[in-house]
Amino acid sequence: MEIKDNTFARQFETTADEGLVSVEYSFQEKKIFLTKINTPESFDDEEFISNFLKNIMEIAIERKFKVVPILPKIVVFFKKNPVYKELLPPGIRL
């Protein structure tokens, strides 16, 4: 999966068969706030979204960012993938 960090639009982007899939973010003090997932209208591939989020977590690890999940779907991702809980800033519990 190829991921583009579109810093101008403040989103990570990748392409699925149905079109562009993106995760919007805001950035503050070495923390990245994941705020919204955008998918094509008929898109419902949860496994694709999960793999996309795993790739984003790897980018966060490389860049030494803490991740703040704002969107409930991303909170669920963290609950299902406890290996990434180390990316949460101190004081954030899910």
Model confidence at 44, in pLDDT bands (50, 70, 90)? confident
Q: Are 83 and 50 in contact (CB under 8 A)?
A: no
Give 27's strand partners. 32
Residue pLDDT, tens place only, 48-94: 999 999 999 999 999 999 999 999 999 999 999 999 999 999 988 87
Structure tokens that stand for 50 in this block: 């999960």
CA 28 – CA 65 distance, rounded (Å): 10
pLDDT score recorded for residue 93: 80
Residue 94's pLDDT is 79
Residue 91: the pLDDT is 86
Q: What is the pLDDT of residue 2?
A: 95
In one letter, which amino acid is 46?
E
